[in-house]
Amino acid sequence: MVKESSINSDLRDKELRVSMQEPTGVLIQAVEHGSIAHEVGIEVGDRLLAINDRLIQDVLDYRYVVTLFERAMVLRVTKTSGELWEIDIEKDEQEDLGIELEGIQTRLCKNNCIFCFVHQLPRGKQVRRSLRVKDEDFRLSFLFGHYLTLTNLSESDFQRIFEQRLSPLFVSVHATEPELRQYLLQNRKPDDLLENIRRLIGGGIKLHTQIVLMPDINDGIHLERSIADLLQFYPDVLSVSIVPVGLTDHRKGLTSLKTVDADYAQRTIEHISPIQQRNLDNYGSPFCFLGDEFYILAQHSIPPRSHYGDFPLVENGVGMVRTFLDEFAVAISKKWKPQKLSVRGTVVTGRIFYPTLKGCLDQINSKFNVDLRCLPTENLYFGRGITVAGLLTGSDIFTAVKNQLYGDFLVVPSESMTGEQGLFLDDWVKSDLETRLRIPVFAGGYHVAEFFKLIFSPGILHQEAFPNFSGAPATPGL
């Protein structure tokens, strides 16, 4: 499996639409009133087939082609009536046509990776539809940073990637040794990973790569081999993320895998640190980066900001904690206006981030007139092995706080929700929590500045600001 990290998760879900049958052209789902498209008679429900005889397969094609022909173009459109229109358009440079196309019809993954998260979803429970999608799509890799294995690229895919300069792409490697990689992916069709990488970078494409680390399977000398094989392509291969395998409680009938624990995390840090230092000395970059979970599990200090460069891997859990800590240090040093009314509330997070967040909240409490309680939330939905905040569900948060809720409001991880309604992975929405807990719920996360603005905005966090929550304030859970 995300590359523009600023693209929010509700857009990401919108793009993740699955179709087993490729339609003709791309559906036009919105037309701006008064736009060029509106004036020439294009309507919602029409299908865009081509621009200047270049077939349009998806929204990414469209964005690319309109940059090639900025002033004059001929649109081929199938009307809802079935008529085929050819429309001549002349426009100013940078002037938008005023159409919105349907999201990308996601290509599905044909691998059966032994650690695949989709295979570990709870059976018989509600789960966000996009979480069930096994995507293997170079377009989503470019747009959102989704990782792909390169096992389904056709010749036309390679040519499109080169022509449209879809760079960087994010590649799931896991192992560079062919037999081991084939075992991990459980794909009967052999693939030549290193040759595919060589071809992509030969076409001017930069790559970020990933290894999901599994104890006693692709670690040790196998990990060293993978890093060395990828290092030969530096700086065209920009990085290797090494992240711990995520295991839920729903693995019946699947390959037996070991959990990454504190001892293993410490040994991994000790193994990789000298390699990082050697790469730093020789190439000016550590090249291989450990996921934050390794450092937190081992109770090891988080590397400094300089370790992560321009933080391209935050969405993969690499450098997220360092970003949070640095932003927090800046935010807490500012002169925030003291609150006239006391601010009391509960802030929930996953178990892995709890020590970090609690330490920060303790500093806020001691410096300002606030009382914020940090509550670690057990992931009952997926299992105790899943400790990140982004995979917390609404039902898990409710179970955790219903008897321990403190103060006048609740702050939940923003990364656990998507969309305007605040949809959780189990189809709960933010208002479900508010209704059951009779308390306002706010989204917070690793965007520290927004969190501080929430805490110090006059009156926002007090019960009198919420007439719909007229019940008694939450009882302290201590």
- Please name every residue paired with 265 in a beta bridge, in sequence order, or none if there are none: none
Give residue 150's region: left, alpha or beta (phi > 0; psi -120 to 50).
Answer: left
Amino acid at 140: L
DSSP state of 409: -
Position 73 scores a pLDDT of 92
Q: Print burial letters for 413-430: b (CB count within 10 Å at least 16), e (below 16).
A: bbbbbbeeebbbbbebbb
180-206 pLDDT, tens digit each: 999 999 998 878 999 999 999 999 999
For residue 118, the Cα-to-chain-centroid distance in whole angstroms is 15
Report pTM.
0.85
What is the rounded distance in angstroms from the CA atom of residue 6 to the CA atom of residue 256? 37
Amino acid at 386: I
132-166 pLDDT, tens digit each: 889 999 999 999 999 999 999 999 999 999 999 99
Percent of the chain, pLDDT > 70?
Answer: 89
Answer yes or no: is pLDDT of 239 > 90: yes
256-279 pLDDT, tens digit each: 999 999 999 999 999 999 999 999
Position 458 scores a pLDDT of 57
Answer yes or no: is pLDDT of 1 > 60: no
90-94, 153-157, 454-458: which has the highest mean pLDDT?
153-157
Q: What is the DSSP string of 364-379?
A: HHHHSSEEEEEEEE--
Q: Do 299 and 317 meet the contact criterion of CB atoms below 8 Å apart?
A: no
Position 5 scores a pLDDT of 30
3-state helix, strand, coil in the chain (%, to 5): 35, 20, 45
Distances (CA, A) of 190 to 96, 114, 251, 272: 44, 16, 26, 29
361-399 pLDDT, tens digit each: 999 998 887 899 999 999 999 998 999 998 999 999 999
Q: Do 162 and 64 meet the contact criterion of CB atoms below 8 Å apart?
A: no
3-54 pLDDT, tens digit each: 323 223 333 343 333 333 344 899 999 999 999 999 999 999 999 999 999 9
- Please name every residue paired with 47 in a beta bridge, in sequence order, or none if there are none: 27, 78
Position 340 scores a pLDDT of 63
Sign of CA dihedral 377, 392, 264, 289: negative
Q: Do 287 and 321 meet the contact criterion of CB atoms below 8 Å apart?
A: no
Q: Do 120 and 110 meet the contact criterion of CB atoms below 8 Å apart?
A: no
- 469 vs 231, residue with greater confidence: 231
200-223 pLDDT, tens digit each: 999 999 999 999 999 999 999 999
Distances (CA, A) of 221 to 21, 116, 228: 43, 23, 10
Q: Which of 124-128, 150-154, 308-312, 473-477 has the lowest mean pLDDT?
A: 473-477
What is the rounded distance in angstroms from the CA atom of residue 427 to the CA atom of residue 13? 13
- Region 222-250: mean pLDDT is 97
Position 93 scores a pLDDT of 81
Instruction: For 20-49, give the secondary structure using H, E and C.
Output: CCCCCCEEEEEECCCCHHHHCCCCCCCEEE
Answer yes or no: is pLDDT of 469 > 50: no
What is the rounded distance in angstroms from the CA atom of residue 463 to the CA atom of residue 470? 7
Sign of CA dihedral 23, 7, 244, 277: positive
Return mean pLDDT, the chain. 87
Residue ranges matching CATH 2.30.42.10 in the chain: 19-105
- Region 427-444: mean pLDDT is 92
* 195: its two tokens: 């040759």
Instruction: For 124-147, give the secondary structure using H, E and C.
Output: CCCCCHHHHCCECCHHHHHHHCCC
The CA R_g of the chain, rounded to the nearest whole Å, is: 25
| CATH class entry, domain 107-318 | alpha beta
| Domain 19-105 listed as CATH 3.60.130.10 | no
Residue ranges matching CATH 3.80.30.10 in the chain: 107-318
**pLDDT classification of 451: cutoffs 50, 70, 90:** confident
What is the rounded distance in angstroms from the CA atom of residue 316 to the CA atom of residue 116? 16
- Region 69-80: mean pLDDT is 90
Q: Print burial letters for 393-409: b (CB count within 10 Å at least 16), e (below 16).
A: bbbbbbebbeeebbbbb
